[in-house]
Structure 1
């Protein structure tokens, strides 16, 4: 490596570590203010608190590193332009691409270890943080309800809850687990969860219980209720929560995540096979029109994004007898399960791609930061923070928006995580192209 490249590369290190410390401090302070309520009045030892806080530094570091890269790049190239070093280099016939190249090398040197950190170290830190959180949790146990996702914390049931209004949860679906002879599904419009002693009382309102024999599909039972209660032992719940073999998506490496996705694929295929079995037992004569029958077949045969609204509409138009009603009740319940599993599968896909997309953002931010630093001609920390805030905000808006669309199965989980890099990468390439144009580069250096 030539002297020029070494010099530019060296000039990135101090601003990077300085920026990293500042960003980590800000994110950690924000986390600490939100987490302090977990510790107050619970008699938790300082060792557990400090270890818990340290383990949470993992995800903070993963988020802070790309931000620090952008700030450091703006500061470095801004200072080069401010001190007229770039003017001297330009006069010597050195192109902007060559000036940019050491910055790209620097970002790659940071991105590669960060990929390894995200895949191997971060999941373990997140896992240990949860295992420490269980000691905090034991002081006041409750059910961790994440609206819109399957809740698998319970040994006998899986939950998916679509919304919350006040103290009541809306549109609750409960699936009995570990049943080989029958499949039980409970649906309720509203529900409440209350801790009573060593139990959680689940009160469901205005719903239905569906039971179907997995071997003899004609053995189907439907129970309508105004109020139904389920008692869940907190001992069983705590055992499940503290199980070291159970990890959330953020506590898994790529191999574990792929294994989890395979499990969901098998579950989805099992439900599809079950649907096919009772589709065989019904033909077009059971429908008002042949078009309705064909549309049902086409919708169910789709691998993704089964349109539940259209199926419900067809169900309303073809509820002619009890057998027809039972068929559509089973069908809608199974499709709801498929959609829930697909949503969970996409969550794991998002986590896989996030392990790579965030480190690659380091390279993307170099492409943006170097031209902007030269155009601005200011190497100060405050100016760098202002510019960084704009692009980091844009990046995370795309990241959060993409994750939201992935949750709704609108786009693939991988595309959701790479979308911010694609958008900002295009902006960066446009800026680099402009800086590569002779007149534009000279104009910004001499302004």
Structure 2
């Protein structure tokens, strides 16, 4: 835990350095981070402890004494197996209740820092992103660093173009826990903004607005949960939920996705005019129409010599475009191209939206199964580490530590790659959650069988002897 805490400090050093935060706030943040780190710490701890313990037993010939007394390896491991099963249950409870609560605490703390101490997001002497704008101050002072000196603000449009510049000699940030707004009060400054005009002739004149102010107030809304830290929102929201909440949200997400896809599909089909249903016609109406058709045909036969009709032949096998005039064909083709282009644009936009929705659903599935996989991984890694320690017959911090770290790195990176692939939909989220445990399970079964039969992993001496025999055979063949 100590090692992983230091890793977390390096990851979040930019969020806390130079922000004027109290040591108690930083300490609380890392305390709330500790439950989330148990997902990495606990499997490594179980693996290392089992290798060290059983390696020390084997090195001191404790297993030889047990076997001489008629105690098998399984019987020697029985009490620890029971303990590991109990530890797996505690781990699942921890992952289902404690970790979601700690994630919620971390989120609330970061949000409260933004509300109570908004100046913490502003660094002195550099431009900082602050609630949708870039702000630079020369100095911060006063209670909670609320007073600012020499403020420069750049506001950008939706197209990420810098259109507004505000300069002020002093500023003040006013906020409270009860309010969802942060008020930035600027004093003695200038305001400049580029005026965007739709008229092309006016654009060439580059219109702008400029003013001087004594006091200028800006009301900034603190983002809600769905908007705060957008990237983190997608990846962390599912980690704030327990199993029952995940199951409920998974069902609602799946239903919403089906509803959106179905509605969009019907809209596209209606726009294309395809698969339209043929209305049912009453048989009596059909008979009347047929009778009228016969009467009309007879009339046409009588007047055929003096009347010409511009009708389509009964059996037409040519191109349907030949039925229209040349200028009409061009209009029809252009209309079809525009219709297809509009439909494809709508489909591409909806695809991007649905990819995000499907990713959120996959993250919920992965988070649900990851809770069970974490509990079972402790048991599996125990059956990897315990027989491995009995096989290598080494205790202490040397070789067992190296072997444990190597095995853990394999387990950890398999889990990271599987998690990323499952988020993107390359593999199923259930497979991604269980992949590292599924790979370690056969290794644990194999090592347990080898340790029970009192056989090592491999005989290096026998391997060298075989290589020597091969070289001897080659030399004899060459001499012959």
Query: Do they fold alike, i.e. is TM over 0.5?
Result: yes
Residues in 2 aligned to 1:81 and 1:283: alpha-carbon distance in whole angstroms = 77
What does 1:218-257 align with in structure 2 at a 5 Å threshold? Answer: 234-235=220-221, 237=223, 248-257=237-246
Of 128, 134, 140, which aligns to 1:195?
134
Give how far 1:331 is off: 2.2
Q: Quick check: 1:273 aligned with 2:250?
A: no
Secondary structure of the residue aligned to 1:195 is strand
What does 1:151-300 align with in structure 2 at a 5 Å threshold? Answer: 194-195=133-134, 201-203=157-159, 234-235=220-221, 237=223, 248-281=237-270, 282=272
Contact 1:198–1:234, Cα closer than 8 Å, also in 2: no
Of 347, 356, 360, which aligns to 2:363?
347
Give how far 1:71 is off: 0.8
Distance change (3 Å), C-alpha of 1:76 and 1:203: same
Residues in 2 aligned to 1:68 and 1:104: alpha-carbon distance in whole angstroms = 16
Give how far 1:134 is off: 2.1
Counterpart in the other structure of 1:56: 33
Counterpart in the other structure of 1:26: 3
Contact 1:111–1:363, Cα closer than 8 Å, also in 2: yes
More moved, 45-54 vs 109-118? 45-54
Give how far 1:266 is off: 2.7
Q: Quick check: 1:91 aligned with 2:107?
A: no
Residues in 2 aligned to 1:254 and 1:439: alpha-carbon distance in whole angstroms = 42
Of 75, 85, 90, which aligns to 2:52?
75
For the aligned residues, what is the CA RMSD?
3.3
TM-score by length of 1: 0.63
Counterpart in the other structure of 1:215: none
Residues in 2 aligned to 1:135 and 1:260: alpha-carbon distance in whole angstroms = 26
Contact 2:134–2:155, Cα closer than 8 Å, also in 1: yes
Contact 1:108–1:363, Cα closer than 8 Å, also in 2: yes
Q: Unpaired segments of 5 or more residues in structure 2?
A: 123-131, 136-152, 162-218, 276-333, 461-480
Of 389, 401, 414, which aligns to 1:398?
414
What does 1:290-439 align with in structure 2 at a 5 Å threshold? Answer: 320-437=336-453
Distance change (3 Å), C-alpha of 1:234 and 1:387: farther
Q: Quick check: 1:43 aligned with 2:32?
A: no
Residues in 1 aligned to 2:156 and 2:224: alpha-carbon distance in whole angstroms = 11
Contact 2:421–2:427, Cα closer than 8 Å, also in 1: yes
Q: Unpaired segments of 5 or more residues in structure 1?
A: 1-23, 143-192, 206-232, 286-317
* Larger CA Rg, structure 1 vs 2: 2
Give how far 1:422 is off: 0.5
Residues in 1 aligned to 2:273 and 2:446: alpha-carbon distance in whole angstroms = 58
Contact 2:391–2:456, Cα closer than 8 Å, also in 1: no
Secondary structure of the residue aligned to 2:395 is coil
Q: Quick check: 1:130 aligned with 2:111?
A: no
Aligned residues: 312
Give how far 1:42 is off: 1.8
Residues in 1 aligned to 2:409 and 2:419: alpha-carbon distance in whole angstroms = 15
Residues in 1 aligned to 2:12 and 2:363: alpha-carbon distance in whole angstroms = 24
Q: Quick check: 1:100 aligned with 2:77?
A: yes
Residues in 1 aligned to 2:273 and 2:228: alpha-carbon distance in whole angstroms = 49
Give how far 1:320 is off: 4.3
Residues in 1 aligned to 2:335 and 2:72: alpha-carbon distance in whole angstroms = 73
Residues in 1 aligned to 2:44 and 2:399: alpha-carbon distance in whole angstroms = 14
Residues in 2 aligned to 1:201 and 1:348: alpha-carbon distance in whole angstroms = 34
Secondary structure of the residue aligned to 1:410 is coil
Contact 1:44–1:136, Cα closer than 8 Å, also in 2: no
Contact 2:133–2:154, Cα closer than 8 Å, also in 1: no
Distance change (3 Å), C-alpha of 1:388 and 1:200: farther
